[in-house]
């Protein structure tokens, strides 16, 4: 085997490995509400400025309190926070996005007291109209998962959660494990791409 063939084969393998193990870092800061730390078995309400990554209304964080366990890690947030404000509760985070890039978004949600609880999730590109979803299907018996994809139309995209039912009451709508990652090709696509790359290396051996 020539040196060129060996290098070509190694290059193809390296490229296949790189495509098969893409970076999938969560772009959401503190998506599991693990910071700041709350003592186990308790809850605490914070100004949003004290909760890394998030802004908006006060944020109530639980740590396995009242028999409720987190979907990820040990902490989660209650959207309908304490204290009572007389208006809807909203928390949000702005993430940097690349125009035209596809992103996968997901989060866990659960009702606290009533299966009539609901909230709105919105994706808001800078200077553009929001895409919104009403989440009214969650139960008190376990976590539900929202997942979907979007194509960025701006260099910044806001993720926002707003209470609907109850709108102003301080009991309802748990959130956890909020994630936005760059979408990656399906494994089948990667395999086909890998075969193509290996074919490039083998073609030089004939």
Nearest to 171 by CA among 90, 88, 78, 108: 78
What pLDDT is attached to residue 128?
A: 86
Average pLDDT over every residue of 11-15: 42
Q: Are residues 124 and 175 in the same domain?
A: yes
**What does the alpha-carbon distance between residue 164 and residue 130 come to, in Å, rounded to a whole number?**
17
3-state secondary structure of 202: helix
Residues 129 and 78 in one domain: yes
Could you tell me if 108 and 204 lie in one domain? no
**Cβ–Cβ < 8 Å for 180, 28:** yes
pLDDT score for 127? 82
Same domain, 115 and 205: no
Q: Is 140 helix (H, G, I), strand (E, B) or coil?
A: coil
Q: Is the predicted pLDDT of residue 201 greater than 80, yes or no? A: no
Q: Identify whether residues 192 and 206 lie together within a single domain.
A: yes
Give yes or no for residue 200 having a pLDDT over 60: no
How many domains are contained in the chain? 2
d(CA 53, CA 13): 38
The pLDDT score that the predictor gives to residue 85 is 84
Lowest pLDDT segment from 32-46, 111-125, 192-206: 192-206
Domain holding 29, by residue range, is 24-183
- Sheet-wide strand order for 59-63: 42-46, 59-63, 75-78, 174-182, 102-110, 144-151
Of residues 187 and 52, more confidently modeled: 52
Tell me: do 121 and 175 sit in the same domain.
yes
Classify 150 as helix, strand or coil.
Answer: strand
pTM score above 0.85: no
Whether 15 and 68 share a structural domain:
no
pLDDT tens profile 110-149: 999 998 999 999 999 998 889 999 999 999 999 999 999 9
pLDDT for res 3: 46
Predicted confidence at residue 13, as pLDDT, reads: 39
Q: What is the pLDDT of residue 2?
A: 54
Averaged over 154-183, what is the pLDDT?
Answer: 97
What does the pLDDT average to over 149-169? 97
Are residues 122 and 46 part of one domain? yes
pLDDT in tens, 70-125: 999 999 999 999 888 889 999 999 999 999 999 999 999 999 999 899 999 999 99
Q: Is the pLDDT of residue 10 over 80?
A: no
Same domain, 10 and 83: no
pLDDT averaged over every residue in the chain: 85
* Residues 117 and 198 both lie in one domain: no
> 175 and 190 in one domain?
no
Please give the pLDDT value at position 188: 55
CATH number at residue 104: 2.60.120.260
From the CB of residue 44, how many other CB atoms can be counted at a distance below 10 Å? 17
Please say whether the beta carbons of 111 and 138 come within 8 A.
yes
* Res 185 pLDDT > 70: yes
Asked if 17 and 28 sit in the same domain, the reply is no
């Amino acid at each position: 085997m020539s040196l060129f063939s060996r290098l070509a084969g190694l290059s193809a393998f390296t490229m296949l490995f790189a495509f098969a193990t893409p970076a999938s870092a969560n772009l959401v800061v503190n998506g599991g509400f693990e910071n700041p730390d709350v003592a186990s078995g308790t809850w605490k309400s914070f100004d949003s400025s004290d909760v890394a990554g998030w802004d908006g209304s006060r944020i109530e964080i639980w740590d396995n309190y009242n028999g409720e366990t987190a979907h990820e890690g040990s902490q989660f947030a209650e959207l309908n926070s304490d204290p009572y404000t007389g208006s809807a509760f909203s928390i949000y985070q702005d993430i940097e996005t690349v125009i035209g890039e596809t992103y996968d978004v997901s989060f866990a949600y659960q009702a606290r007291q009533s299966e009539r609880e609901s909230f709105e999730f919105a994706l808001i590109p800078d200077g553009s109209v929001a895409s919104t979803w009403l989440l009214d299907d969650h139960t008190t018996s376990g976590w539900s998962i929202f997942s979907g994809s979007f194509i960025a139309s701006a260099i910044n995209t806001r993720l926002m959660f707003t209470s609907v039912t109850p709108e102003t009451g301080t009991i309802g709508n748990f959130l956890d494990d909020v994630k936005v990652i760059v979408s990656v090709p399906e494994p089948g696509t990667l395999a086909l791409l890998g075969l193509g790359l290996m074919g490039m290396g083998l073609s030089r051996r004939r």
